[in-house]
Amino acid sequence: MRVISDAKVIITGRPGVGKTTVFTKVVLALKDRGLRVYGFMCPEVRRGGARIGFDIIDIATGRRGVLSRLCSIASSKVRVGRYCVNEYDAVRIGVQALLKGLSYADVIAVDEVGPMELKVDRLRSAIYTVLRSSKPVLAVVHRSIVSGLSKEISAATFWVNEVNRNSISSSILKHLIEHP
């Protein structure tokens, strides 16, 4: 078993449908097979049941930072909707994870490629460098940009919904791994 050399897989769907859950299942399955997975994920942060922002976590090291918070809690010159983006942690965690992945990963995984991540110039540049590289990539892509991105890179796109979210991870793995 080995990773398909330049496989690109996009996971997309509506908010809250389970894209990150599918992504996490695939990342764990890759790691269980002994593959080196680098990249980042951006889980939401909640307080009292309400979303207050997003963190950014390096998949390989577990290093964590703040990607964004409500602008009523934090300030930044970079805003996406009601969230202020922390450029420092986006670069410190996200860009570094992607650059290390270009050197050391069997698969680079990104959750997510969305308006917030693309607002930070250096992170956007690193994401596009990874997507255009020969490395296998697994990426959750915001549904509003998936069609534009699909015109720029050749990728298998998987739409997650309530019906397939518990079974789609095996299909995604087949696109990333060669079986002898």
Q: Where are the domains of the chain?
A: 2-178
Beta strand 107-113 pairing with 37-41: parallel
Q: What is the pLDDT of residues 11-68, one digit of tens each?
A: 999 998 999 999 999 999 999 999 999 999 999 999 999 999 999 999 999 999 999 9
Mean pLDDT of 147-171: 91
Q: The tokens 């509003």 sit on which residue?
A: 144
Q: What is the pLDDT of residues 78-133, one digit of tens each?
A: 999 999 999 999 999 999 999 999 999 999 999 999 999 999 999 999 999 999 99
Q: Residue 98's closest CA among 68, 45, 139, 66?
A: 139
Q: DSSP strand E in 59-106: where?
A: 64-70, 79-80, 83-85
Beta strand 44-47 pairing with 50-58: antiparallel
Residue 144, φ and ψ in degrees, nearest 5: -75, -15
Alpha-helix residue ranges (DSSP H) falling in 33-179: 87-89, 96-104, 115-118, 121-132, 146-152, 168-176
Beta strand 107-113 pairing with 2-3: unpaired
The reported pTM is: 0.93
Residue 70's pLDDT is what? 95
Domain 2-178: CATH class, spelled out: alpha beta
| Distances from the Cα of 1 to the Cα of 4, 35, 173, 177, angstroms | 9, 10, 11, 7
